[in-house]
Structure 1
Amino acid sequence: MKKVFTVLSMAGLLLATTTLFAQEKKEDKSKRPSPPAKVTEIIASGAIISIDYSQPAIKGRTIGKDLEPKGNAVWRTGANEATIFETSKNVKINGQDLPAGKYSLFSIAGDGQWTIIFNKTWNQWGAYDYKMAEDALRVKANAGKAAAFAEKMTFTISKSGTVTLLWGDNKVDFKVE
């Protein structure tokens, strides 16, 4: 009986120790160089739109050279984990259908026009695992010069459904209806 008690005690101690070490320490994402941000709005159609992202800062670097790529390179449109775009209802993005759900938001930056990509694999790190075959939708978005310089990348959503990305002197808009 003493042996059984000793074996069970040791097994319990081993299980408790393993459980303590196996628990992941929760990362305080607000301490990252590119902290998290989230914007949510109920647009005119009644859909709840949210964008959950990390805000890269320029910090003296050059957009298109040191930061987000220009040309045909897919960018995560933020920092750290892929930016998440979520809609509670089926919507139209610049006139094209996007079913309700969660999507990772990627982009391809260009002069005067960006390609905005809604990818079905929403839970991924950056653009490292991005697969074009998982794209739910690609739309063209107007890009221009922002009225004011934005050190940190910022998204806004208006009640009318205009989503605006501001970063540096860049302003990129697309419409959600």
Structure 2
Amino acid sequence: MNFKKSLFSFLLFAGFAAAVMAQEKPSPAKTAEGTVGDAKITIKYSSPAVKGRVIWGDLVPLGQVWRAGANEATTFTTTKDLMVEGKMLPAGTYSFFIIPDEYQSTFIFNKVDKQWGAFNYDAAEDQLRVSVPSQQTSTMEERLKYEVKDGKFSIAWEYGKAEAKIAPAM
């Protein structure tokens, strides 16, 4: 009798644990980190999944400001002044937005660092805007992903990618 209760309890607990682990958040919080010279760069974002959807030009409209993730606007923090695509970005934390387009996208560093989505985005608060090539990739990235490495930071999702060159400020 005691064995049956123990077995039942174990199976119940195992089933509950499996159900909890199977429930992945729709857009989990992620962090990408790296260094450029003495500057530490931290990108905090929510990482949505493709889930069979068309992302670029459908879920994320081309030619419009996008929060570059899900939920709260993505943030980009640098501990030292940086050059992004040859333009100065002072040390600090910024909301990071993108205006995606087919051949070229605009990366936007906005001085208002705590924003929900892009609903209250104000271009007058932009610290820096840079244009970068939009790239089509042959590898599908199911979840939105940022990387900081090799003097660049990149965003990739579905079959699209864009990256900017970053260097220590002179």
Question: Which residue, out of 128, 136, 161, partners 1:137?
Answer: 128
List structure 1 segments (4+ residues) > 2 angstroms apart after TM superposition: none
Mark the structure with the bigger radius of gyration: 1
The answer as to 2:166 corresponding to 1:176 is yes
- Mapping 1:53-68, distance limit 5 Å: 53-68=45-60
Q: Which residue of 2 aligns with 1:46?
A: 38
Question: Which residue, out of 21, 32, 36, partners 2:25?
Answer: 32
Q: Contact 2:31 / 2:45 at 8 angstroms: preserved in 1? A: yes
Q: Name the % identity.
A: 42
Q: Which is worse superposed, 115-124 or 56-65? A: 56-65
Alpha-carbon separation, structure 1, partners of 2:58 and 2:105: 18
- Mapping 1:132-171, distance limit 5 Å: 132-158=123-149, 160-171=150-161
User: Cα offset for 1:146?
Assistant: 2.0
User: Cα offset for 1:171?
Assistant: 1.2
Alpha-carbon separation, structure 2, partners of 1:133 and 1:31: 37
Secondary structure class of the residue paired with 1:153: strand
User: Cα offset for 1:65?
Assistant: 4.2
The answer as to 2:112 corresponding to 1:121 is yes
Structure having the larger proportion of residues in strand: 2
Secondary structure class of the residue paired with 2:121: coil
The one-letter amino acid paired with 1:135 is D
Root mean square deviation, CA, Å: 1.4
Figure out how many residues of one structure are paired with residues of the other and give that number.
145
Secondary structure class of the residue paired with 1:58: coil
The answer for unaligned runs of 5 or more in structure 1 is 1-29
User: Cα offset for 1:83?
Assistant: 0.1
The one-letter amino acid paired with 2:61 is P
What is the TM-score normalised by the length of structure 1? 0.78
